[in-house]
Amino acid sequence: MMRHFDKTSIMEAESFFRRDFINCLSGYKSLNLIGTKSKSGQTNLSPFSQVFHIGATPPTVGILFRPHTVQRHTLENILETGVFTLNHVTQDFFKEAHQTAARYESSEFDAVGIEEEYLLEFYAPFVKPSPVKLGCRLIEHITLQVNDTVLVIGEIEHVWVDEKGLRKDGSLDLNALGTVTVSGLDEYHIGQKLARLSYPKPGKHLEEI
């Protein structure tokens, strides 16, 4: 049985219901820990489910920052220093990753017990146990009129990836890497592959590749 909600019934629902409901509607989301460091040297680590591909040439990612949330520390550090890291989360530390969203005064790395790591000369901290780590540099940020959400666009300067999950064609085997996905605000899942499908053309039968 399908349940119907229109805009009026959504707006009249309890705020906790609306928040959970709307957050779940897009489906499974990517999960990354963003590592930053303020100019004064304070590190910060925060979970984000709003990281997405913008383009491959040059390699760019986008992140949406909600207004008035604890995540603003991360945004301030990015605007101040111009750099940040993105780190996949695995089954081994997804609870610690969730806990980094708490409002700590000190560094979340220390507070939750996730080890930080510095690679080459990159200023922002990486997450040591992460199987996919990106070093990114801010190139543009845009404030959306609709609700003051900020879209940050970063160029990917460095990638470290565990070779057990890197295929010859450049794609990543996220199942092998143990990457975790999130739904809504607080529910974590691993992926279970159904199939990889050939390039779709009219009149051509799809094959599993």
Q: Is residue 32 within the footprint of its own copies (CB under 8 A)?
A: yes
Q: How far is the CB of 38 from its own copies (least distance, A)?
A: 19
Q: How many CB atoms lie within 10 A of CB 41?
A: 7
Question: What is the C-alpha separation between 16 and 62, in angstroms, rounded?
Answer: 27
What is the token pair recorded at 41? 């040297």
Q: How many CB atoms lie within 10 A of CB 174?
A: 18
Among positions 60, 72, 82, 129, the unique one binding its own copies when judged by CB under 8 A = 60
Map residue 25 onto helix, strand or coil.
coil
Q: Is residue 101 within the footprint of its own copies (CB under 8 A)?
A: yes
Handedness of CA 66, 69, 71, 75 (dihedral sign): positive
Among 12-20, 33-41, 77-85, which window interacts with its own copies (CB under 8 A)? 12-20
Among positions 65, 93, 94, 109, the unique one binding its own copies when judged by CB under 8 A = 94
Contact 29, 78 (CB under 8 A): no
Contact 193, 175 (CB under 8 A): yes
Q: Is residue 57 within the footprint of its own copies (CB under 8 A)?
A: yes
Among 37-45, 71-79, 140-148, which window interacts with its own copies (CB under 8 A)? 140-148
If binding means CB under 8 A, how many residues of this protein chain bind its own copies? 114
Q: How far is the CB of 124 from its own copies (least distance, A)?
A: 15
Q: Is residue 78 within the footprint of its own copies (CB under 8 A)?
A: no
Q: How far is CA 109 from the centre of its chain?
A: 17
Q: How far is the CB of 176 from its own copies (least distance, A)?
A: 11
Among 35-43, 74-82, 198-206, which window interacts with its own copies (CB under 8 A)? 198-206
